[in-house]
Amino acid sequence: MTESTQALGNGTILVVGGGISGLTTALEAAEVGYEVFIVEKNPYLGGRVAQLNQYFPKLCPPTCGLEINFKRIKNNPRIHFFTLAEVEKVSGSPGSYDVTVRLNPRYVNENCTCCDECAKACKMEITDEFNLGMNRQKGAYLPHEMSFPSRYVISPQIIGTEDAQRCKDVCKYGAVDLDMETRSMNLNVGAIVWSTGWVPYDAGRIDNLGFGRYPNIVTNMMMERMAAPNGPTEGKVLRPSDDKAPESVAFVQCAGSRDENHLPYCSYICCMASLKQATYVRERYPDAKIYIFYIDLRAPGQKYEQFYQRIKEDENVFFIKGKVAEVSEDPDSKGITVTAENAMTGEKIHQTVDMVVLATGMQPSAATAKLPADLTYNADGFIVNDFKKGGMFGAGCANRPADVMSSNQNATGMALKAIQTLVKR
Amino acid sequence: MADRYMIEPDLNFIKELNGMGADTLKKCYQCATCSVACPISPDDRPFPRKEMIAASWGLKEKLIKSCDIWLCHNCGDCTTMCPRGAKPGDTLAALRNYAIMDYGKPRALAEAVNDPKKLPILLLIPAVIFVIVGLITGLLDFTPEGSEIVHSHFFSSWLVDLIMVPASIWTVVIFAIGIKGFMKDIHENAVAEGKTQKEKLEIVPFLKSIVNVIPKILMHSKFSECGENEERATSHMMVLFGFIGLFIVTSIFFVTMYGFGIHGPYSQLNPVKWLANIAGVALVIGSALMIKNRFAKQPDQNTTYKDWSLIGLALALGLTGMLTEMTRLGGAAGLSYTIYFIHLMFVFALFVYLPYSKLAHLVYRTLAIAYADYSGRKF
């Protein structure tokens, strides 16, 4: 591993985005001998996967996969990664691209030992983006326990305040450097893999599903953070309004998905995610009831199908074929009533539950902010790969909605495509 | 729902619905958002999700014999919320149109009324009848006497009523045939689908239900529950009350003329005249608003020939009626007689083609709503 602070001369492969797909592409290419740069926007690697509690269908924690990858990166001198870094400009053609990368200041250098003294000294609290805003954290923070690189960050929000100075003063290792500035660096690379990932669809835009209006309606990613031991509730699934243990939870599938008014496509993972999250609730609360409202339950492939069958055997899990189209809140109990027509029986159901989880889909990051390169997108913002032209490729969820497993397969394929671009030259 | 039965898709029915405005029907993927989005759909066997799949499968009998398609007031909430652009509202409108044609006998006339190419012939028929009957009976006087413009001098009231009274009787008879089949069908359908506990359709309690629902219909209470409908309820109410007002005026006119020998035109100070003027203006403004709303809703809502022809007829009736009066008061004799003639043609069209036009919903929807009340369908 070389954690780079400056660009190396010879261009090889640039991987934009250090989530599970980017890490895979980088490792696959580096381990067969190619030089790779990873540019990651966040202060840590691991992307969305780092936010998960468990993978489906094996229900193992994401640390499993990420730890191994981080170790491979550490052991590989051909991988250079930059966190808090963003690609600003790309010019050139397959075989030779000039890339401008902006490096945002972390205000903490490699001397950091994660002693937490700076966080203790800091008084100001900021929104914890890693936990999707469900809690607040200090202005000097470690993004999460498993952060890689394992180093604190001073938020730009406290720069210039007394808090920042307090952080600097308290650090025994001289790790806090408030003079760090935004820098620009140039890379010359032969191929670029865009593994820019996804953002959860903004549930607040789905008017009829009440997110943002009623506190006990959360999204599936919020559920992941709640269930994660390093999350805002330390792994306890509690309903937000009163931290009560939910006795009943409704999952609303296709919340803003397969819907012309929102995301017209299927995000592939939400059905499996809800089935998985049903187990989070069920293992914590043996009497809790789960209601899963769906249009079609999609558990693609043999293993996922088996997982679905297993959940179906649980007599506390109820499946209702019908999309929830209306929600209301009881002002006293704060319980939520969801309404759907059960298409199997032809009756409208008004199910009152303690908590509702909206299974929102994935939107490619590029849908909201176009990438600074000559790429082709489909109508939904996913990168369309032009293998004839070559040189630049979309991998993982930048290319299509996918689970971790198929993202990795896709990312491996894109590593090969990138290598082919270099070899052809 | 566990009953198994072999479905017999009527492919032609699906095609016909397509042509009647339900061209997006097949986009439906049965998510059932529409049934929840609909503010007036009942909890038990709600619509329109079940109608969408039945239409998709070509189950004609199940659909056009269902009272549920008439409970829909076509507000378009379901269409707005539909994730696929399948426009359930348009499908239900097409189903109602289909049902009107199916209950309107003879079928050939029903088809002609709904074919834009036949419109000139349909409007020519009353003109020819008028002239022929007028010439044969000698009731058509081309040289009306007197300086005052009196329409009945030109078109004798005898002539008008000689044609309009049989025309009204025709309408009643055709409707009677339609209603007989309609009531039998919707009851059988409700029993078969478990939408009612009543085994027999009893006349007296049903008539009571009609009495129950009429004030609600007049107040547009269901209509106003429809989310996207506020403006539409106003224009619809204007047109409906316009027609009712004019019907009352015509009845009074008829009774006073034949009963008491009092002839028109009435003075502008006569309260009946006030009602006539108010109703006429309501009809014109209401139908003009409807046209405006229809344009505003495009392309989210399909507007078919059936929709345009009815609104057009309402507007034409109102306009020609008002213009007849205005030209009469203005002293433009030739113009006034001409417009009055055109007006009479539209009145004839209204009567004779009523059972086949979209206006038949006046009868079928009223009966369906009354049936829902009678059968205990919470709606």
CA distance B33 to chain A (A): 5
Interface test with A, best of B24, B31, B77, B84 (most A CBs within 10 A): B31
Using 50, 70 and 90 to split pLDDT, how confident is the model at A244?
Answer: very high
Burial of B348 (0-12, 13-18, 19+ CB in 10 A): buried
Chain B hits for A262, CB-CB cut-off 8 Å, are 83
Interface test with B, best of A267, A323, A326 (most B CBs within 10 A): A323
- The interface predicted TM-score of the complex, written ipTM, equals 0.88
Chain B hits for A296, CB-CB cut-off 8 Å, are 29
Q: Which CATH class is domain A2-104+182-199+363-424?
A: alpha beta
Using 50, 70 and 90 to split pLDDT, how confident is the model at A9?
Answer: very low
Q: Both tokens of residue B267?
A: 């003075």
Task: Please give the full DSSP string across B54-69, using - where no structure is assigned.
Answer: HHHTT-HHHHHT-THH
Interface test with B, best of A345, A348, A350, A351 (most B CBs within 10 A): A348
Per the prediction, chain B carries an average pLDDT of 91
Chain B hits for A347, CB-CB cut-off 8 Å, are 43-46
Question: Domains in chain B, please, with CATH?
Answer: 11-103 (1.10.1060.10), 107-375 (no CATH)
Give the nearest partner residue to A261 out of B1, B32, B83, using CB atoms: B83
Question: Rounded to an integer, what distance in angstroms lies between the CA atom of residue A410 and that of residue A398?
Answer: 11
pLDDT value at residue B145: 66
**Half-sphere exposure of A58 toward its Cβ, with a 13 Å CA cutoff?**
7
User: Which listed CATH number (2.40.390.10, 3.20.20.80, 3.50.50.60, 2.40.30.10) goes with A202-360?
Assistant: 3.50.50.60
Does residue A16 sit in helix, strand or coil? strand
Are B187 and B201 within 8 A, CB to CB? yes
Give mean pLDDT, residues B51-63: 95
H/E stretch holding A198: strand A198-200
β-sheet bridge partners, residue A108: A176
Question: Rounded to an integer, what distance in angstroms lies between the CA atom of residue A144 and that of residue A50?
Answer: 9
Query: Residues of B near A (CB-CB distance < 8 A)?
Result: 1, 29-33, 35-37, 41-46, 49-50, 81-85
- The DSSP symbol for B46 reads -
Query: Residues of A near B (CB-CB distance < 8 A)?
Result: 208, 254, 258-262, 295-296, 321-326, 339-348, 350
A343/B49 Cβ within 8 A = yes
pLDDT value at residue A10: 46
Chain B hits for A326, CB-CB cut-off 8 Å, are 36-37
Q: Could you give the C-alpha distances from A109 to A87, A105, A149, A224, in angstroms and in order?
A: 22, 10, 11, 31
Using 50, 70 and 90 to split pLDDT, how confident is the model at B225?
Answer: confident
Interface test with A, best of B29, B33, B47 (most A CBs within 10 A): B33
Beta strands in A296-361 (DSSP E): 317-321, 326-329, 336-342, 347-353, 355-360
Question: Higher confidence at residue B157 or residue A279?
Answer: A279
B29/A324 Cβ within 8 A = no
* Range list for CATH 3.50.50.60 in chain A: 2-104+182-199+363-424, 202-360
Least confident of A86-100, B141-155, B277-291: B141-155
pLDDT value at residue A175: 96
User: Percent of chain A scored above 70 by pLDDT?
Assistant: 97
Give the other-Cβ count within 10 Å of A144's Cβ.
Answer: 18
Least confident of A196-210, A262-276, A350-364, B219-233: B219-233
A260/B37 Cβ within 8 A = no
Residues 6+ apart with CB under 8 A from B348: B125, B126, B129, B163, B164, B167
B83/A260 Cβ within 8 A = yes
Encode pLDDT of A135-185 as tens digits.
999 999 999 988 999 999 999 999 999 999 999 999 999 999 999 999 999
Give the nearest partner residue to A260 out of B32, B45, B84, using CB atoms: B84
Output the pTM of the full model.
Answer: 0.91
